[in-house]
Chains A and B, each alone.
Chain A
Amino acid sequence: EPEVTQTPSHQVTQMGQEVILRCVPISNHLYFYWYRQILGQKVEFLVSFYNNEISEKSEIFDDQFSVERPDGSNFTLKIRSTKLEDSAMYFCASSEGTSNQPQHFGDGTRLSIL
């Protein structure tokens, strides 16, 4: 069964450094997403991406965040200057369509900011 893959599985970074989290969505999917989950809290939406542009973003997704689809397969999340509160599990997801289509999640990148 096709799956969403994410790398790395765990990223440890010093506060203030830039990080790039990588995702390879399912190949025939057109919509891509990033979510995060702070330990003990619920999964929160960050951003959705379609047709090479952001289609929606949450209030969490401020100027420190950016997303990119640099080629036909990768989808990246960049955090420019990390803060301690950015420590969380980051999940990439993809779907064939939007709204009523289920989203399939990668197994996540655990980001630890020191």
Chain B
Amino acid sequence: NAGVTQTPKFQVLKTGQSMTLQCAQDMNHEYMSWYRQDPGMGLRLIHYSVGAGITDQGEVPNGYNVSRSTTEDFPLRLLSAAPSQTSVYFCASSPTSTGGGYTFGSGTRLTVV
């Protein structure tokens, strides 16, 4: 049981490049979400999904897209990377949208130069 798997663990991008951060869970969780963590600002929700085919915006969605074509996968796309998107990104899942504890992936450290 792998839990939540995030790839890559580290990435350096040039300004304007695009990329996709991958997130997969094998626990049949309904709810998946993406956070970014910046020093002094805690965890901020980017996008979330309550099930396959359903996504919604969090606190800081600008510059990011998501899709949820399967229960297992929830990729995060950076459309045109900016230095302000330098951060650590975490994917998390929980059994339902209303209850249960979150399981986090190991994170992706992204630097945009």
The finding on whether chains A and B are genuine partners in a shared complex, rather than unrelated, reads: no
Binding site for A on B (CB under 8 A): none
Binding site for B on A (CB under 8 A): none
